[in-house]
Amino acid sequence: MSSNKKLKLGLPKGSLQESTIDLFKKAGIRVVSSSRSYFPYCDDEELEIILVRSQEMAKYVEEGVFDAGLTGYDWICETGADVEMVGELIYAKSGFRPVRWVLAVPEASDIKSIEDLKGKRIATELVNFTKNYFKEKNIDVNVEFSWGATEAKTPALVDAIVELTETGSSLRANKLKIVAELLNSTTRFIANKKTLSDPWKKEKIENLMMLLNGALLAENLVGLKLNVSLDNLDKISGLLSGLRKPTISPLQDKNWVALEVIIGANEAKKLLPLLKRNGAEGIIEYSLNKVIL
């Protein structure tokens, strides 16, 4: 049954687009977009989704163009948008970790600290935040906007750059060294403050946040099912340390029980051989889409 109610939701186009669409899929919401489209198909009829750059998202949400949206904390800081932070979603383009804005200089540079940048020129896309950062440190620098290829601009055009990095590998490849870390950023689910006064939209946003959080939590977890004889139950139970105590169910053979538990994916690869050696049988590992605590 279709609903006439709609939540206008902005999703990030660009580097976060693919990982965001994957996250929504795991949360149970299918979003399909072509490379040229800004209006993707969504199988949730209560969502009207538009793709925009993360840099623009917070302002659109503040102005009510979108009821809610996903963007980086860095761009909320950069634009100074007055929005409600619904929650934090720790994922990025290539992993489940925060990204960093760092100050970098050529490996051969004499610049060793941010104080050495007094009177120097810095290129970055994060202009306002960088200016405010150095202003608070009382260090006079010249910050200019970079239209791209920022890592290639030093030392020929500027003395230093402030650039986004996940692993630092691109900086090292360009023979740059990190002098300081200016900002840690994660993806944030934000909402227009007036939107949250609408009970239906507020509940829809909260439900979305719950599903997305559940999908992220499930990324690093797996479920295990196994059969254990009563003689080995205490020993096997001692090996399992899931979110809760294992679920124990009787089997047709009264001397055996079935156990089910959720554990860390990295833990599972070490645990399965131990379970087998200690008498467990019929061990099944399965992936999870969502875990709601």
Give CATH 3.30.70.120 domain extents, the chain.
221-287
Give 1's pLDDT tier (boundaries 50, 70, 90): very low
For residue 199, say if its preceding peptide bond is cis, omega within 30 degrees of 0. Answer: no
CA atoms 139, 143, 149, 153: torsion sign: negative
Render pLDDT for 109-125 as a digit per residue (tens, 0 to 9): 999 999 999 999 999 99
Give CATH 3.40.190.10 domain extents, the chain.
7-96+187-218, 99-184
Give this prediction's pTM. Answer: 0.85
pLDDT for the residue numbered 242:
60
Q: How far is Cα 61 from Cα 8, in angstroms, rounded to an integer?
A: 10
Architecture of domain 221-287: 2-Layer Sandwich (3.30)
What does the chain come to in residues?
Answer: 293
Domain 99-184 = CATH 3.40.50.300: no
Place of tokens 């917070």: 58
Of 28-42, 195-209, 234-248, the range with the lowest mean pLDDT is: 234-248
Is residue 62 over pLDDT 60?
Answer: yes
CA 229 from chain center: how many Å?
Answer: 42
Query: CATH assignment of 7-96+187-218?
Result: 3.40.190.10
